[in-house]
Amino acid sequence: MTSELFTPLTLRSGQTLGNRIAKAAMEENMAGAGQLPDEELFGLYRRWAAGGAGLLITGNVMVHAEALTGPGGVVLDAAAPLEPFTAWAQAAKSGGGAVWMQINHPGRQVGSDMPGVVWGPSAVGVDVGKHSSRFGRPVAMTPEQIEATVTRYAVTARRAEQAGFDGVEIHAAHGYLLSQFLSPLVNKRTDQWGGSLENRARMLLDVVRAVRAAVSPSFAVAVKLNSADFQRGGFDADDARQVIAMLAPLGVDLVELSGGSYESPAMSGRPADARTQAREAYFLDLAEDLVGTSPLPLMLTGGITRRRTAERVLDGGVAIVGMGTALAVTPDLPDRWRRDREADERLRPVNWSDKVLASAAGMAQVRHQMRRIARGSRPTPRTHPAFALIAEQRKQRRALRRYRAWLSASQDAA
């Protein structure tokens, strides 16, 4: 009997995914010159495309050249050349699956050493204790900046379709800009974008409307949403339920559930909520709670590494299983599951007491594997997290110098 994992799924837009396994977005931070995708990213996505997932979702692509989550961020704005993105889409579709571009604005989650802007719904900085100075101090966005940013998402989505991508995923989770507007801890506005959940969701809903209007009806539009922020008084599961209901009439195909932010990095397997801590699918309890009322298909991402867990997620009513780290270690894991095989190895755990450094080291480990895969090498999951973190910091310093020079030249040209 064929597992439900390998049955197709047809979405509202009419797009059909070949199976229920998606490579979830991981922030590659691997842009080449001009903040563009290059052969390294093409190689990485060709490997994933050959691995059997029905859907690949890219790491976040920036809608605003002056606001990047990291100096190696890919930028697709009105000025970017389309050819590198066309090549990226072709590489990602070379195995027969679909590819969606995750589109994002970091808002206040921008490093203090980065040029450009640090914006937020309010002037509330990222609070990660002694590491807080690593982030820039945000300024509250003006209505004009909010409206211009909504337009930027639509421009990026339209150009992603022109480049050959099959859809976009609007990132409204993990503490980035749209998630910041949703959070009552970060959004202290008293105007039409603050206060009630309806007001705090306004920017996300406007982005979805603008994106849907800018692309074809057959182009998929998804939203990544926190099932919870895992912070007392923050965005919670009941808020998520209401936002999903608000998204339903707007032509959204799918909502991906994740959780956490830099302040509470549950998405890297270190949730503040103890009851989810020892679970392989971190957010399954919350997802199963939301499935019962969701008018939209849900995708669940977070810590899934074994077929049995993936099948349990689908049995709970979730439509798509998303995997990130597991596919950075074993890029052909979906094909292995089809042949009743599992991964040979898992990533070395990071058991550091400093959760901010541990989260950074965990992400560095994943990027180390992605870079190896991109070069055609085998992953080395036992790499020590401290080695991966130091190597990643060196690469990011080089990327920062290049980004500074590029942004300065772009601003001079403009």
CATH at 250: 3.20.20.70
Q: Both tokens of residue 300? A: 């669940």
* 390 lies in some domain: no
pTM, full prediction: 0.94
Q: Are 50 and 92 in contact (CB under 8 A)?
A: no
Cβ neighbors of 242 (< 8 A, separation 6 or more) are 197, 201
What tens digit of pLDDT does each residue of 220-229 get? Answer: 999 999 876 6
Q: Give, for all 414 residues of the chain, the pLDDT tens digit.
A: 357 999 999 999 999 999 999 999 999 999 999 999 999 999 999 999 999 999 999 999 999 999 999 999 999 999 999 999 999 999 999 999 999 999 999 999 999 999 999 999 999 999 888 888 999 999 999 999 999 999 999 999 999 999 999 999 999 998 999 999 999 999 999 999 999 999 999 999 999 999 999 999 999 999 999 876 666 667 888 899 999 999 999 999 999 998 666 555 544 444 434 443 344 565 677 778 889 899 999 999 888 899 999 999 999 999 999 999 999 999 999 999 999 999 998 999 899 999 889 989 999 999 999 999 999 999 999 999 999 999 999 999 999 999 999 999 999 988
| Number of domain units in the chain | 1
Determine the structural domain holding residue 253 and report its residue range.
Answer: 4-347
* 223 lies in some domain: yes
* 389 lies in some domain: no
Q: How many CB atoms lie within 10 A of CB 317?
A: 15
What tens digit of pLDDT does each residue of 140-190 get? Answer: 999 999 999 999 999 999 999 999 999 999 999 989 999 999 999 999 999
Amino acid present at 237: A
* 314 lies in some domain: yes
Rounded CA-CA distance 222/25 in Å is 12
Q: Are 301 and 257 in contact (CB under 8 A)?
A: yes
* 356 lies in some domain: no
pLDDT score for 406 = 97
Rounded CA-CA distance 259/228 in Å is 5
Place of tokens 């206060």: 195
* 185 lies in some domain: yes
* 175 lies in some domain: yes
User: Can you list the positions of beta strands (E) in 119-219?
Assistant: 119-120, 139-140, 167-172
pLDDT score for 137 = 96
* 387 lies in some domain: no
Burial of 185 (0-12, 13-18, 19+ CB in 10 A): middle
pLDDT score for 265 = 52
pLDDT score for 227 = 77
Rounded CA-CA distance 39/61 in Å is 16
